[in-house]
Structure 1
C-alpha cells in the first residue's frame, strides 16, 4: 500500500527503507525514528544478523578459548560482516567496519548517538517478558521485583529436552551455487510431501536456521522457522495459470530484485531472467500446464485452525527418520 501511495507511512527496518528508496525514486521518503522525530530521542530498529554464544567450558581450555575468540574476530571483521550480510544492509557495531548503508539518509546522527536497539529473541526471554509485564500491569510487582524475576527466569536451568530426531546430514540456510537454499528446501519439501501436495512456495524469510547434523529437539526444530502470522497451511487445487499468477504477485509484493529475496519452492523450478522477472515454471522438467489443475500447499492468514508451517515441520520430523533431500528449485538466466 505504501508503494502504491495508498498509505502515508510504514513500519520497517533501515534495509526496507533503502529498497523502497530505490524503487520509489519519484517520491521523497523521510525516515522517522521510533518515539520521536529527532535523533536525540528516537531509535532505529534492527534485526540481528549475527548471534554468538560461547560455551562457558571454554574457560577451562585456553587452546579452545583462543581458537573460539579467533573465529569471533573473523566474524566481526569487515570481511566477515560483509559475507554474513551478503554485502549490504548492515550497520555494524564494530567501529572498524564502515556502515554498508551509507545511501540511507539520516542514519549518521542516530549512529553517532548510538540510538539503536536490536530485536532480541529467545524462548526464555519471551516467557520472562510475559511474566514481568503482566505483573507490572496488574500491580502485583514493582520495577525492582520485575528486574529480579526477569533475571531469575533467564538464568534458570530448565530440564534437558529429549531429542526427537537425529539428522544424518547438514543443510545450509545460505544460498548454494544454484541460488537456492538447501535447508529451507529440505524443510518445505518434507512438509509438502506430508500434505500430499504437488507444489508449494513460500517467502525465504520464513526460515531462520540451517539443519545441523546430530540430535535435534522439538524446540530446536520449531526455531528453524519464524512464527509469521501468515503461515497457516492450506492445500488448494489451482490451475497452472493461477499458480503462475500467484508467483508473479509474490515477486511484486515482496519487491524481489536480487537472488537473496527469491522465494523457496518445492515440486517446481522457478525460472527467472537476469532481472529476476519470472520467465517460466517447470514441473517435472516441463513448462507448467496453464489448463491443468495442481494441488498446491499455500500459506494462509485466514484459517488459524490449520497447522502452521513450523508446527507441521515439528510434527512430521517427530514421526519420521530423516527430512527430504533439498531440491534444485531456482534457475536464473539462460
Structure 2
C-alpha cells in the first residue's frame, strides 16, 4: 500500500487530475500555486453531497444530572461554545462547516462554490469507530468482488452493526498502582518509562529508544481488558526495529531523537522528548531547543566502542532516514508494537518498574 504522499505529489506535478482531499488541502494547494478546486461527491441522480468530518465534539459528565447548579453552568459554557462568536473562535480561520442554522461561518474563496450544498443540508457526516471501519471494509470488498449490489451491501452493513458483540471485557492485566503521566525535569515521565522498560524486556534488548508519541498517557491502578491494554500504545502504525550498535552509533541515534532529524518530528516541548530505557540521558534546554549532552548506562557515560543490542520504536515514514543509513543494519519486527504488546500482556506478561531516564538542564 502506498502512502498518501504519492497521489499528492502526482497531483501537484499535474500527473493526476483528481485526488481525495479536504478543504484545507485545497487552500494549501492554491498557496503552492496549484489551480485546485474543491469538488463534492456526485450521486447517480445528479445530486451533489459533501462528506464532513465532525471536529467539534463535546461530552458532558452524567453526574451533572445530580447537581443542577453545575449542570446549568456546564450548559452555559456549551451555549457559548455553540454560539456564532464561539464557533468562529474555535474555527480559528479554518474552513469549517457548521450544523447550526443560526450561525454563519466564513469560507475561504476556494470553497465558496459549496455554499448551495451547505444551505441545502447536503452533508454526509463521517462516523468513526473500529466497528464501523471493519464492517465498511467487509461490505465494500464484497461489492467490488460482485457479491453485493448497493442494496445488498446496505442491508449487510446494517445487519453487521446490529449483531451482538462477544464479551471481550475480560481482565487480562491488573495494575496495583497508578504511574504519573507528568514529565519531571529530573526523571522524565513515569508512565512512559513503565511502558518503555516493559517493551525493552519483551524485545530482549540492552537499550530502547522511543518517541514520546509511542504511548498514550497515564498507567492507572485498574483492571485492564484486552482492548484497554492495546490502547496503552498509540493507535498509529508504530513499529519496532532491532540493531547491533556501537556506543558511537547509539549516541548519534539518541541525539537525533532528542534534537530532531530529517523526516521526523522534533520535540516541541518537554513532554515530547523521547523516552529511553536501559540508559539515561542528559539534555540541555535553551530557547525551546533541546541538545543532547550525555548518554549514560549504569551511571557511566557510554564509550564509543561499547556494543549494544538496540530496539528503536517509531512510525515507518519517520524512520526512513535511519533505514537508508548504510552504516546501520536494522531488522524490523513482524508485528506492530500495539499487536505485540497486547499479545504479551494477554499471555501473562507483567509491567516493569519505571526508571529515572532523563535529566533536563
TM-score under structure 1 normalisation?
A: 0.65
Q: Confirm whether residue 329 of structure 1 aligns to residue 336 of structure 2.
A: no
Q: Confirm whether residue 215 of structure 1 aligns to residue 223 of structure 2.
A: yes
Question: Structure 2 matches for 1:81-96, cutoff 5 A?
Answer: 95=87
Unpaired runs of at least 5, structure 2: 1-8, 14-18, 42-49, 95-105, 317-329
Equivalent residue in structure 2 for 1:289, among 303, 315, 318: 303
Shift of 1:164: 0.7
Classify the secondary structure of the residue corresponding to 2:183. Answer: coil
| Separation (CA, whole Å) in 2 of partners of 1:124 and 1:64 | 35
| Separation (CA, whole Å) in 2 of partners of 1:229 and 1:262 | 19
Question: Structure 2 matches for 1:1-334, cutoff 5 A?
Answer: 30=32, 37-39=36-38, 58=62, 62-63=65-66, 95=87, 97-99=89-91, 108=108, 121-161=128-168, 162-171=170-179, 175-178=182-185, 180-226=188-234, 228-229=236-237, 231-234=239-242, 236-250=243-257, 251-252=260-261, 253-259=263-269, 260-270=271-281, 271-274=283-286, 275-299=289-313, 306-320=334-348, 322-332=350-360, 334=361
Which aligned runs of 4 or more in structure 1 are off by greater than 6 angstroms?
7-11, 42-48, 50-55, 64-78, 110-114, 116-120
Greater Rg, structure 1 or structure 2?
2
Q: Which moved more, 1:303-312 or 1:38-47?
A: 38-47
CA contact 2:240–2:332 (8 Å) conserved in 1 = yes
When the two structures are aligned, how many residues end up with a matched partner? 290
| Separation (CA, whole Å) in 1 of partners of 2:304 and 2:344 | 32
The C-alpha deviation readout for 1:274-314, integer Å capped at 9, x for no partner, is 21132222323333322211222224867566343223322
Shift of 1:199: 1.1
Classify the secondary structure of the residue corresponding to 2:198. Answer: helix
Unpaired runs of at least 5, structure 1: 1-6, 22-27, 79-92
| Separation (CA, whole Å) in 2 of partners of 1:203 and 1:243 | 15
CA contact 1:165–1:217 (8 Å) conserved in 2 = yes
Classify the secondary structure of the residue corresponding to 1:297. Answer: strand
| Separation (CA, whole Å) in 1 of partners of 2:157 and 2:240 | 32
Shift of 1:221: 1.5
| Separation (CA, whole Å) in 2 of partners of 1:76 and 1:266 | 47
Query: What is the root-mean-square deviation of aligned Cα atoms in Å?
Result: 4.8
Shift of 1:133: 1.3
CA contact 1:40–1:110 (8 Å) conserved in 2 = no
